[in-house]
Structure 1
Amino acid sequence: MLKAIHHVAIICADYARAKYFYTEILGLTIVAEHYRQQRNSYKLDLALPNGEQIELFSFAEAPPRPSYPEAQGLRHLAFAVDDIQRVVAYLTGKGIAVEPIRVDPYTGKQFTFFNDPDGLPLELYQL
C-alpha cells in the first residue's frame, strides 16, 4: 500500500534564512520555487539524493511551533547518513550546535540531533 515518504512539509519563520540553511548548509537540491502572491507565501520544493522531498513554506502569520516541552504531533525529521562523525564535524564547522552522538539501544546505530533556524529538531541517523 504505502511505498515511501514522498515529502515532508515545513513552515518557516524567515524564508531566506531557511532556504539558505536547507540548500547551502544541508545541500538539498531546489526542484521548484514559487511565490504565491494571493497568500504572500513562498513554496520551495527541495530534494534529497534519493528523490524524497521537503516542501518549505513561508506564511506571514504562522504561529511558532511549540517544542519544549515536546508537544503532540510530529516530533522530528531524521536524515540518514553514512558517516555521522563527518556530518557532525561539517555542521559544527558551520556554527551549528549538535548534541553529542548517542547509540540507539535497540539498533546499535549512532544518532544525534540539531535544530534548523526555527528550532525544528532534526536528527542524523547513521546507516
Structure 2
Amino acid sequence: MKAIHHVAITVADLAGAREFYTRVLGLTERTDRPGELAPGTWLDVGGQQVHLVAGTPPAAQGQHFALLVDDLDATVGQLRAEGVQVSDPVPIGKARQCFLADPSGTVPIVTDPTTATAEMGFSEQVRCGWCPPTFGRISNAIELHEAAK
C-alpha cells in the first residue's frame, strides 16, 4: 500500500454537500467522474480525493476523516467567518485538531502538523461536542489515537 487514493462519504443533500466542500472548505470539483455512476461528485484535496455519494448517511459510529492545513487557527477563523460551527483547536496525539460537521453530519476533522501533547493544556473534563458519541470526551479521543499508534 502506498497511500489513500480517496474516501467516499454518503450525503443526504448532494448540492448542499458540494457547496460546503467546495466553497466553504476549498476542495476542487473534478470533471472526470463517469456519468453512469450513481449521483455524486468527486473532489480533489491535496493529492487525494473525497467522493460525495448521494444517499442516506449511516448513523454516526465514529467515522470521520481529517483535512490537513498549514495554519489551524487561521482556518478556524475563516470557517467561523463563513458561519460554520467549529470547535476550538485541541491537542490530540501529536497534532491539534478541530471538529465540525458537514450538512449530512459527517465529521471532517481539520488538523495541523504542530506537535501537541497533554502538557499543552487538554483537560479530561473538556467534552467535545463535535465528536461522534463513540469518542465521548476529548481525553477518550486522545486515548484512542494514542492506542492506534
The TM tier, using the shorter chain, reads 0.7 to 0.9
Evaluate the alpha carbon distance shift between residue 34 and residue 14 of structure 1 in structure 2; reply closer, same or farther with a 3 A threshold: farther
C-alpha distance in structure 2 between counterparts of 1:34 and 1:97, whole Å: 34
Q: Structure 1 residue aligned with 2:84, among 73, 76, 96?
A: 96
SS at match of 2:110: strand
How many residue pairs end up in the alignment?
112
Structure 2's unaligned 5+ residue stretches are 114-149
C-alpha distance in structure 1 between counterparts of 2:13 and 2:35, whole Å: 14
| Residues 10-58 of structure 1: per-residue CA shift (max 9 Å, x gap) | 111011101101111111111125554xx7x42211101x320011111
Aligned to 1:9: 8
Aligned to 1:112: 98
So what's the TM-score if we normalise by structure 1? 0.79
C-alpha distance in structure 2 between counterparts of 1:42 and 1:123, whole Å: 25
CA contact (8 A) 2:12 2:104 kept: yes
CA contact (8 A) 1:34 1:42 kept: no
Q: 1:103 Cα shift?
A: 1.1
Evaluate the alpha carbon distance shift between residue 34 and residue 17 of structure 1 in structure 2; reply closer, same or farther with a 3 A threshold: farther
Aligned to 2:19: 20
Give the 5 Å matches for 1:1-127. 2-32=1-31, 33=33, 35-36=35-36, 41-48=38-45, 50-59=46-55, 62=56, 64-67=57-60, 71=61, 75-104=63-92, 106-107=93-94, 109-127=95-113
Runs of 4 or more, structure 1, over 2 Å off, are 32-36
C-alpha distance in structure 2 between counterparts of 1:9 and 1:35, whole Å: 17
SS at match of 2:58: coil
C-alpha distance in structure 1 between counterparts of 2:108 and 2:80, whole Å: 14
Structure 1's unaligned 5+ residue stretches are none
Evaluate the alpha carbon distance shift between residue 126 and residue 112 of structure 1 in structure 2; reply closer, same or farther with a 3 A threshold: same
So what's the TM-score if we normalise by structure 2? 0.69
Q: 1:86 Cα shift?
A: 0.5
